[in-house]
A and B are shown apart, each in its own frame.
Chain A
Amino acid sequence: MWHDALLVAGKDLRLEVRSRVALNQIVPFALLVLVLFAFALDPDRGLLERATPGLYWVAVLFSGLLALQRAFTVEAADGNRDALRLSGLDPAGIFLGKAMAVGVQLLVLEVLLGIGVAVLYTTQFAGWPLLLATVGVATVGIAAAGTLYGVLAAGLRVRETLLPLLLLPVLAPVLIGSTRAFEAALAGAPAEGWPWVGLLAVFAVLYILAGVLGFGPLLEES
C-alpha cells in the first residue's frame, strides 16, 4: 500500500511541477482572496485583526478546493481512471498517495498565505507550536476528506460545481477548529487551542480511515 501511495504521490506532484497550475493559478487566487478581504475590512483595522484567523482558513479552503479539483481532473482525462483501475495499484494506496500530494500542495499554500497575512494584515504570529500543530492536522484532514469527496464527485458531469457543495459543509469542523486554535495562539492563550487541535486530529483520523476503506468502491463507481 505504501509503495503505491508514494508512487501516486510522486506522479501527482510531478504533474504539478510540470504543469505549474498550483503556482500560476492557485497561489495567485489565494493571495487575491487575502487582498480582497483586506480591501473589504481595511476601514475597520481592528475587525481585520480579529478576523485574521478565520479569513486565513477560508482562503486555505477556497484555494484547496482548486487543488483538489485539479487532482481529479487529471484522472478524468483520456481514460486515466480506467488505467488506474487496471493498474493493479491498491485503491487505499491511490487514496493515500493523492491525499499526500494534495497535502503537500496545501502546506506550500498555507506557508505562502501565512506570509501574505503577515504582510497584508500586519499579523504578529505567536504560539508557534500550536500554530504548526494546527496547520499539520488541519492539512491532513482537508486532504483526506477532499480526496474522498473528490473521487465521489469525479464520475459526475457536474463535478466542478458539486465538489464545493459537497465538501465545504463537511470541512466546517476543520474551519471552526483551526480558526479557534489560531485565535488562541495569536491571543497568547495556547492552552485554549489544544482541544481544538484534538478535534482536528479526530477528524483527520476518521477521514483517513474512511478513505482507506471507501476509496476503492468509489473509484469503481466513478
Chain B
Amino acid sequence: MDPTETVAEPGPSPGGGPSAAPAVRLRRAVALLGSFPALAGVDLEVDRQEIVLLRGPNGAGKTTLLRTLAGLVPVTQGEATVLGIDLVRDHKAVRPKVGLLGHATGLYDELTVADNVRFWCRAARARAVDADAAMVRLGLDGRLRNVAVGRLSAGQRRRTSLACLVARRPELWLLDEPHAGLDQEGRDLVDHLVRDATAAGATVVMSSHELDRAVALADRTVTVTGGTTEDDARPPVPGPAEIPEGQDSTDVA
C-alpha cells in the first residue's frame, strides 16, 4: 500500500466533515518526562471507531503515549491532534473528551462505589442515570454500591474505575492494561464494553500484555519501542516533507 493512501483513508463517517478526520494523529511527536524524551518522535494515526492495541516491552513508552493522548503530558515537538484538538497548542482542552483507565484507580477509598461513580460522573457533567447504568453494567449494583472502595478487592476497584469511565461517555477511550486484575468474567466484560463503545462511535487505544485477548479485540496493533512507534498493519505516516506540495495530508487520496 502506498503510504499516502493510509493518510487519505477516511474515518468511519462517510461524506467528509469534521467526523471524518482521524481521532488521533501524531507526527514525529516528542514528549518529555523531565528532560528524558519518553516519546521520541511518534507517528500514530487512529481512525474514528477504531480499536488500536499498543504493544511493546516495559518502559517502551506505552503509558506515556496514552497519557499524552489524554492531555496529561504536553507534546513539545512535532504535530499532535486528538479529536480535532491541537495538543501542541492546548493539551488540556482534550481532557473532557477522553477517558483514561490507568494503573491507578483514581478512586477515593473512604467513599462508596456509588459516591465515587456519581462524583466523577457529575464532574464530567454526565447524567446521574448514566452513573447508575454504568454501575449495573459493571456488576456493581446491589450490595456493592454502598461498600467503601477501600474495602473492595483489586478486581472490584478496577470495575469501579471502569464504571466511572463508562458513565462519562468519552469519545476516546485510553485503556492501560484494562484486563489486569480482573477475573475471566471481568475480562470478557471489558471486551464487550470496548466493542459497544466503538459501535456507539467512540475510539479506543489500549495497551496490554495479554496479547492473545487484546489482539483479538483490536482492529490493529502498533508496536512501541524506545519511545517510537511502528505500525504493525500500516506503513509509517509520512511527514510533511513527503506530502506533495500544496496538498494537505487529509486529501491525498
Contacts and interface: CB of A to CB of B under 8 A. Distances in A.
Contacts of B124: 87-88
B108 A82 contact: no
Contacts of A83: 106, 120
Given A15-B111, A18-B148, A89 B123 contact: yes
Contact of A88 (B100, B103, B125): B125
Given A78-B104, A82-B102, A87 B123 contact: yes
B111 A18 contact: yes
A86 B125 contact: no
Contact of A18 (B96, B106, B110): B110
A35 B147 CA distance: 38
Contacts of A86: 70-72, 95, 98-100
Interface in B42-93: 67, 70-72, 92
Contacts of B106: 78-80, 82-83
Contacts of A89: 123
B109 interface: yes
Chain B's interface size range is: 20 to 34
B230 interface: no
A84 B166 CA distance: 16
Size category, A interface: 20 to 34
B122 interface: yes
Interface in B96-136: 96, 98-100, 102-111, 115, 119-120, 122-125
Contacts of B67: 82
A168 to B, nearest CB: 28
Interface of B is mostly: loop
B69 to A, nearest CB: 11
Nearest to A75: B108
A88 B110 contact: no
A45 interface: no
A89 B108 CA distance: 16
Contacts of B148: 18
Contacts of B104: 78-80, 82
Nearest to A4: B123
Contact of B119 (A11, A18, A78, A79): A11
Contacts of B103: 79
A180 to B, nearest CB: 39
B123 A88 contact: yes
A82 B73 CA distance: 11
A79 B105 contact: yes
Contact of A79 (B99, B102, B110): B102
Interface string B15-42: 0000000000000000000000000000
A80 B148 CA distance: 16
Interface of B: 67, 70-72, 92, 95-96, 98-100, 102-111, 115, 119-120, 122-125, 148
